[in-house]
Structure 1
Amino acid sequence: MANKYLSYITDEHLMLCIKNLHNSYLRAKANVSKRKFYTNKIDIVKLTFDASFNELDEITLIKTEINRQIDKSINNSIGTFHEQILGGVDGFEIGNFSGFDIKASDDTLFADIKNKHNTMNSSSAESLFQKLATYADTYKQAQCYWVQILAKSSFNEKWFSDINGKEYSHSRVNKISGDQFYKLLTGKENALFELYKILPIAISDYLNSIKNEASDNNSALQEIKSSSEISKRSILDEITFENYNYYLGFDKLK
């Protein structure tokens, strides 16, 4: 029976990858309690402008701020999603914290996947190059890759770089964009584009299959709503009071 979604991984594997990412979203949201939400002081002046200039009601405003706070965690999970997708291609497997993200089952390829091209500082880049070079030296037939899922161009080339004043190069250490890496592993010219096109359909199918099982509520929003109802303050005033009641005049918020 032909796959419904993609030709290079099974429908079951795709659904599992979507499920894992969805669970990451749910965990990230559930982990945002009011106490954690307030850990970094909320910029109540910016929220006031956001509410007016972006025409956001108070609930949407707080949801937007919560989503901003969990964005870093979700970005990491998106990188894991790509690892899991590609780990389902025949002949390849994920690293499971083994020092690499993806490798060929016959040890002819090792890769470290970054979701965005600009997520590393110079020290991280130096460490990554040295790690990939070690794999290349250990496995003489292996091509090793720094994968940038969201790159500034489409490329597959040797990684030559000047990092922290040192020149780095290796005949089998490469850097590659996301589209080219998907093509390399799947043999499909437009493999990443094909994933992009089917994701709305696959996500909708997945959510429909679990619509009575999952909730994306987070405790921060519920706690703030509850305390604002008790204090009779607006939600924005409640956040302001709870963050800055020790500022001059702010203790008078009603």
Structure 2
Amino acid sequence: MQYGLTFIDDEDLFNHVKSTVEKYRAIICLRDFRKNIIDPIKLTFDARIYQQSWEEIIEGEVIRQLDKSNNNHIGYFHQDIFHYIDGWHVPSQGFDVINQSKKIYVEMKNKHNTMNSSSSQKTYMKMQDQLIEDAESVCLLVEVIAKRSQNIPWKISLNSVSKSRDNIRRVSIDQFYRLATGQNDAFYQICQVLPRVINDVLESTNLDSIIQNTVIEELMEGRTDVDILKSIYQTSFATYEGFTDFKWR
């Protein structure tokens, strides 16, 4: 198990990827599936337009639900890896990543377009508060999926007033890795070895304990496609007029 990265120990990288894999949500049953409000109207359009079976359509909805949970775990992967890099700390609350000696405070987002105007303003004001507390601080909004590689002042509008300070910056993940490790292509190096690390983790993991999806099996038990569709309508619209005794026309 040798990955050849000088800024993170092989065992630490393996264990961090292993922790991410173990967090991945791949266990779902019919009860869990029904906890989320499903849109049967959209599923009906999807099934007819894409000419897919109900089994295929529902499997797609299952994957969508799992993916929503797993996006959070990818956020954990991006953030918590800095726990293993010298000088950096991942606190349990407050900023996502901190370097106390360099007075760098980081908020990390997966995609550049995941924050609406309100959350952007809230994050910027949080950074302003940090600068009031310590004027020598540098606050970074780090974006994993940014529009481009960048390390620039973050320009924002607060109460219709344009704001920009040199020590509140908008930084792509590659530039943050460069800052954190001192290596220009550190993020590229992580991406290079990641498939191999995941494979090593999976080879040492019992996938049967991770992947358990019984939604289709439970739904199909003793039912036809028409029965399944009827069941989804009755579940989503349980309190709506007429759906107690749902009949097709």
- The TM-score, its normalising length taken from structure 1, stands at 0.82
Distance in 1 between residues matched to 2:62 and 2:160, nearest whole Å = 40
- The Cα RMSD (Å) is 2.8
Between 1 and 2, higher relative CO (CA 8 Å, sep ≥ 6) is seen in: 2
Match of 1:174 in 2: 169
Counterparts of 2:189 and 2:31, CA distance in 1: 34
Q: How many residues align?
A: 241
Which residue is equivalent to 1:120? 115
Q: 1:105 offset after TM fit, Å?
A: 3.6
The residue aligned with 1:229 is 221
Match in the other structure for 1:76? 72
1:36 and 2:35 aligned? yes
Q: Deviations over 1:98-151 (max 9, x none)?
A: x10000142511100000001111111111011112222323332110111100
Matched position secondary structure for 1:230? coil
In structure 1, the partner of 2:22 is 23
Unaligned runs of 5+ residues in structure 1 are none
Equivalent positions of 1:124-143 (< 5 A) are 124-143=119-138
CA distance in 2, matches of 1:241, 1:212: 33
Does the C-alpha gap of structure 1 residues 216 and 51 become closer, same or farther in structure 2, counting only changes over 3 Å? Answer: farther
Please give the alpha-carbon distance, in whole angstroms, between the structure 1 residues aligned to 2:129 and 2:153: 16
CA contact (8 A) 2:111 2:143 kept: yes
Contact 2:30 2:218 in 1 (8 A): no
Q: Deviations over 1:211-243 (max 9, x none)?
A: 36623113433421xxx2323x13xx3431102
Structure 1 residues 34 and 83: alpha-carbon distance in aligned structure 2, compared to 1, 3 A threshold: closer
Relative to structure 1, the CA distance from residue 242 to residue 163 in structure 2 (aligned partners, 3 Å threshold; closer, same or farther) is same
Q: Which runs of 5 or more residues in structure 2 are unaligned? A: 235-241
Aligned identity (percent) is: 29
Structure 1 residue 210 displacement after superposition: 0.8
Amino acid at match of 1:141: E
Question: Does residue 242 of structure 1 match 2:234?
Answer: no
TM-score computed with the length of structure 2 as normaliser? 0.84
In structure 2, the residue matched to 1:12 is 11
Cα gap change, 1:77 to 1:30, in 2 (>3 Å): farther
